[in-house]
Amino acid sequence: MSHRCTGSLSSLFYILSLSIVFTTIGVNWFYQGIEDFKYITIRALVIRVLSAASLFIFVKNESDLLIYGFIIVGSTVGNNLANFVHLRKYIDWGLIEFGELRIIRHIKPALQVFILNLIISLYVQLNSIMLGFMSGDESVGFFTAGTKMTHIGLTVITSLGTVLLPRCSHLLQAGDKDGFTSVINKSLDVTLAFSLPMAVGLMILASPVIRVFCGGAYQESIPVLYFNAPVIVLISLTNVMGIQVLYPMDKVWLVIMSVMGGAIVNVALNLILITHYGAVGAAVATLMAESMVLFLQLILGRKYYPFNIGRIVNWRYIWGSGIMAIVVYLLASEVSSDAVKLIVGTTIGIVVYFISLIIMKDQLSLEIVSMVFKKIYHGNKI
């Protein structure tokens, strides 16, 4: 590697490290706590659009590596500076008595959150690191391609936890156990209603998904996606039980213990499976590890959940996903084009799944239908 390339990479490392500094003034937690999600959404959208536009305008080739680094850091800086400046709407800095802040009392809960996030971060990166050492960069590429779509689905579903965490904490602090139970039960229904068909759909359409979004050279990523898709359901459930229930109840250590258990299983199985099966072995290890996290949370936190554990086996959503899978599989087998197979399979799958739930009189689906009809009715009335 040339000195010039090494210098550029070193400079990029220092530039990207700036994001750590500016994250300290992000105070995104404050806006989540007061549930100002309108501001968070608008700010994030504006910053992301500007960042994307800057990448297209200023980054032309590999010589623009440092510009790329500044733009990436700039998106973090922009978000965090906007957050800090926007605080003036809620906080009068002149009235703050810094001597009365009592920072010491916040160290313990902050350390708990830090340890949990540290373990999760290491846990998430573990597969790629071990794959790189034990099987090579090619396996890392296959694994990354196979898990990409899973991460997109998880981002959508687990964002529910970010939205509901402050609400759940507020209800518990106010002593409103009935309200807390109602929110958690509704969250569990929504989580299962979306995660189950998403996982099943990705498994049925794994081949066209990989070929359309990654290319024909990534055939080995297909079984990775197949084994990784159920992780959507597992992480979605642990998100409800861990982040939305145990976290607000100040049972963070139970979440930490469950994640540590999953990490241990992940390392052990990676050592066994990666050598023989490469990226597919890492995907299987991830599936088993997330199953362990769910199992431990069910055991350790069972007395704290405001719902019956058997409720996570919702037969309406299981039957609906099964019916959808059969229809999509039969339709997909009749279509030769991967792109058409993906579009038709996704569209028909959503329709069949939703109709199945309506026929089975699923309460959540009926509420959605009722809400849509009310919107249409009021719209026509206007």
User: From first to last of its 382 residues, what are the pLDDT tens digits of the chain?
Assistant: 444 545 555 676 677 677 666 666 667 767 766 767 677 778 877 887 888 788 778 877 767 777 877 887 777 777 778 888 888 787 776 666 766 667 777 777 777 777 777 777 677 777 888 888 888 878 888 888 888 888 777 777 766 666 666 667 677 777 788 888 888 888 888 889 989 999 999 999 999 999 988 888 889 999 999 999 999 999 989 988 988 888 888 888 898 899 999 999 999 999 999 998 999 999 999 999 999 999 999 999 888 888 888 888 889 999 999 999 999 999 888 888 889 999 999 999 999 999 999 999 888 888 877 777 776 766 555 4
Q: Give the tokens for residue 228.
A: 């990784």
Distance CA 225, CA 246 (A): 30
Distance CA 192, CA 334 (A): 30
Q: Give the tokens for residue 77.
A: 């800086």
Name the one residue in this structure whose structure tokens are 């990490």. Answer: 263
Q: Which of 54, 240, 259, 55 is nearest to 161 (CA)?
A: 240
Helix (H) or strand (E) segment spanning residue 360: none
Radius of gyration of the chain (CA): 23
Name the one residue in this structure whose structure tokens are 């350390």. Answer: 111
Distance CA 87, CA 192 (A): 36
Q: Which of 81, 138, 125 is nearest to 266 (CA)?
A: 125
Domain boundaries, the chain: 3-94, 109-313
Residues 211 and 338 sit within 8 Å (Cβ to Cβ):
yes
Distance CA 63, CA 116 (A): 38
